[in-house]
Amino acid sequence: MARRILHADMDAFYAAVEELDHPEWKDVPLVVGADPRKGQGRGVVSTCNYIARKFGIRSAMPVSRAYSLCPEAVFVPPRMDRYIEFSEQIMEIFSRYSPAIEPLSLDEAFLDCSGTERLFGNDESLGKQIKADVRRETRLTVSIGISAIKFVAKIASDLRKPDGLVVVAPGTEKDFLAPLPVERLWGAGPRTCKQLKDSGIFTIGDIAMREPSRLPGAGRGKHWQHLMALARAEDPRGVQPHRERKSIGEERTFGKDLFESEALRLALLKLCRELSYRVRKTGFRGRTITLKFRYTGFETHTRSRTVAMPVITETGLRALALQLWEEIDKTRDGRSIRLLGVQISHAESESQPDLFSTEFLEPEPVANAGSKKTDRANYSSANSSADSQASRNRGGKKNQNDGYSRSDSILEEGKNLARDQKLEYTMDQINEKYGQKLQRGIQ
C-alpha cells in the first residue's frame, strides 16, 4: 500500500485568530508580538498577517525592525489561551481523517492518511475536504501538502500559501524538488546554504546531481549524507502519532530592563501562571525546571533543577522557580535583566503520574546542562503546603510519639497535589467562560 502523508499548516495562525476577534484589523497590517514602543521596543514578531508581510515583516524579526518597516501596523500581544482553544478544535478536525497525527506545533501537523482512498477519494479530494471542514468550523484557512514522502509533503504545504493545496504524485518527487532553492531542505541553515552557494550549488536538484566528493567537505558526515538523501527524495520516516514534546516554556523580553528584585519576582510568577496553563492544556509532564535570564548587554544564562515527580501544578512550578530565582538574585550583583524565561523539560510520559508509586520515594540524580550541579531534591519539598511543613522537616522518619511515617507524608502530599490540580482546572474553566477575569494572587 502506497503511503499518503499529509502536512497541514494553518495560515498566519495567530494573526488570523486575532482578525476573527477583531474584524477591523482584517484589512490592515497586523503584527502579533512584543510592543514596538514606537521603534524602541524589544522582543520579536511571533507572526503577522499577509498584508504586513508585503512590507517585509517576518516571524522572529526584532519588533523594532518591524515597526521601522511599517509604523502604521497594528501591534498586538499574543494570547496563547485563545490560540490553544482554536488549536484543539483544528486537531479534532484532523482526527476525523486519520488516527495517526503528529502535531508539530499549535497550528501544524502531519497526518498519515494511507489506505483512506475509499473513504475520502483521491489526494486532491482529501485535501479539499479537510480545508472545507477547517474553514466552515473555524473560519480559518489551512494550506496542505500531500506526498508519499514526509518532508516533501511539508515543503508542498508552503508553496502556495495562503489557502494552498499541493499534491505531489508518487514517482514525481525528484522532479518536484529539483528547481527549489537549497533553503527549502530540512537542516540547511544559513551557514550550510552559503557553503553550497559558494560551491555553485543553488537548487535541490544541483545537490542531487553532484557527486558527494564535490560537495563542501567532500560530502562527509551525517549532516551532508542527510541533505543528499533528502535531495534525492529519500525519506523513509513515517508519521509519529506519539511524538513526545521535549520541552515547554514561556519567556518575556521586558520593555525596560528590570532591576528591582520584587519586580523580577512578580514577572517570574506571571510567567509561571502562563506556563502552567499550557501544561494543563497540553498534558505535558516534565521534571526539569529551567530559568533563563539575559542581562543588559545580551549576556544570557540558565539555571536548572530536576526533581523526582513531574511538575503538573502552578503551585509546584512557582515554588521551584522561586527557589532558582533566589539563587540567581543573590549572585547577579545588582545587574539589570532584559529577558526572563521559565521552561519545563525532561519529559518522561504524558500520562498522569501515580502519586503513591514507590518510583517517587527516592529522587534520582539527573544530569542537567543548565547548571553546574545536579539537584536531588524531592518534588514535595517545593510543592507542599504550609500545614505539612512540620512533617517534612522530620524527613519522613518514624516518630514513636505520633506514629508518623514516610508513607503518611506521601499520602498527604498526594492530597495537596490533587487539591491544587482541582483548583487550577476549575479556575481555567471559569476564565475560559468569562474571559480571564479570575486570577490567582501573586505572592
Residues with catalytic function: 108
Work out the number of other CB atoms within 10 angstroms of the CB of residue 198. 9
Residue among 13, 244, 240, 245 at smallest CA distance from 111:
240
Q: Which DSSP state fits 375?
A: -
Q: Which three cell numbers stand for residue 237?
A: 520516516
In angstroms, the CA 10 to CA 134 distance is 9
Place of cell 550550510: 192
Helix (H, G, I), strand (E, B) or coil at 8: strand
Long-range contacts of 146-149 (CB under 8 A, 24+ apart): 146/4, 146/5, 146/6, 146/7, 146/113, 147/5, 147/173, 148/2, 148/3, 148/4, 148/5, 148/173, 149/3, 149/5, 149/173, 149/233, 149/235
Residue written as grid cell 482512498: 117
Q: Grid coordinates 503528529 are at which residue? A: 102
Angle at 273 between CA 45 and CA 434, to 5 degrees: 90
How many CA within 13 A on the CB side of residue 348?
15
- Is residue 294 a contact partner of residue 400, using CB atoms and an 8 Å limit? no
Specify the pairing of strand 142-147 against strand 5-10: antiparallel
The span from the CA of 248 to the CA of 244, in Å, is 11
Q: Which of 11, 7, 9 has the alpha carbon at shortest distance from 113?
A: 7
Which amino acid does the sequence have at 90? Answer: I
Q: Are strands 165-167 and 142-147 parallel, antiparallel or unpaired?
A: parallel
Peptide bond before 162: cis, by omega within 30 degrees of 0? yes
Residue that has been written with the C-alpha cell 503513591 in this structure: 356
